[in-house]
Amino acid sequence: MTSTVATNRAEIFRPLFAAATYDASAAMCRWTDGLITLTLDEVREIPLHSVTSELGFGDDLLTMVILGVESDPGTVLILTFDEDNARQLAATLTRRVRNTSPEWDELEISALTETGNILGCAYMNALTRLLGRAIIPSPPYFVRDYFASVIQQALVEQAAASDMALIGRTGFHREGEALNWHVLFVPSPEFRRMLENAIAIKPKN
């Protein structure tokens, strides 16, 4: 019951996340010559202790590109990729044969990081327009690690304020088929207040 109420409450933010996703999708579509598009999957409040399992990631090692917000270090955007499709995307973007080595080379990392940069900038530009405040992304960086390890540091500011975490999750599609890639937008409590102000709702407390 609690979870349902929390989920419904978080849905209030959907129009903002959807607009940011729309712009990010347009940018991704241009960057990949029409190959990849994005759709907003969900906006949820999740108990902190079960964020990883409820998002369906378990203890997986993932390939990720992470961007922060310059003026708000508690807000984080994380792109997660499954290995196979991330390798394929890197090969497509660099116009090379897919790398079969277990190690990622610099060109592949650069291709994924640039993808994160383009997507993240479009996402945050949309939020800048919607919130009437400059949301400037930090330089992106590439990580191969446990998803749970990354998300918990992203959630630190929210954890300081609540036992629940607000997360917006966007999915990717290639020619209409869903990919195992996601964008997770994790706002700080301060950013959440900006979102609430933008849609003119009163904070919970």
Partner 1 sequence: MHSLANPGTIPVKGQAINVGMGQIATGDRATQFTSVLGSCVAVVLWHPRLSLAAIAHVALPKSHGQNGQPGKFADTAIPYMLEQLARMGCPKPGLVAKIAGGANMFRVGGPLQIGDDNVATIREILKTAGIPITAEDVGGTHGRKITFTCSTGEMLIEIAGEKAKVI
Measure the CA–CA gap between 59 and 4, rounded to whole angstroms: 25
Nearer to partner 1 by C-beta: 68 or 168?
Answer: 68
Nearer to partner 1 by C-beta: 59 or 84?
Answer: 59
Residue 168 has phi, psi (to 5 degrees) of: -105, 130
Cβ within 8 Å of residue 55, ≥6 positions away: 46, 151, 167, 169, 184
Nearer to partner 1 by C-beta: 92 or 138?
Answer: 138
Measure the CA–CA gap between 151 and 148, rounded to whole angstroms: 5
Nearer to partner 1 by C-beta: 137 or 168?
Answer: 137
- Least separation in angstroms between residue 68's CB and partner 1 is 4
CA distances in angstroms from 105 to 57, 99, 100, 165, listed in the order given: 25, 8, 11, 34
- Least separation in angstroms between residue 45's CB and partner 1 is 14
Q: How far is CA 199 from the centre of its chain?
A: 21
- Least separation in angstroms between residue 55's CB and partner 1 is 12
Task: Output Rg (C-alpha) for the chain, integer angstroms.
Answer: 17
Nearer to partner 1 by C-beta: 49 or 193?
Answer: 49
| Contact (Cβ atoms closer than 8 angstroms) between residue 143 and residue 66 | yes
- Least separation in angstroms between residue 153's CB and partner 1 is 4
Measure the CA–CA gap between 121 and 114, rounded to whole angstroms: 10
- Least separation in angstroms between residue 184's CB and partner 1 is 14
Nearer to partner 1 by C-beta: 36 or 165?
Answer: 165
- Least separation in angstroms between residue 139's CB and partner 1 is 8
| Contact (Cβ atoms closer than 8 angstroms) between residue 67 and residue 120 | yes
Residues found near partner 1 in the complex (CB under 8 A): 47-53, 59, 61, 66, 68-69, 73-76, 138, 141, 143-146, 148-157, 159-160, 162-163
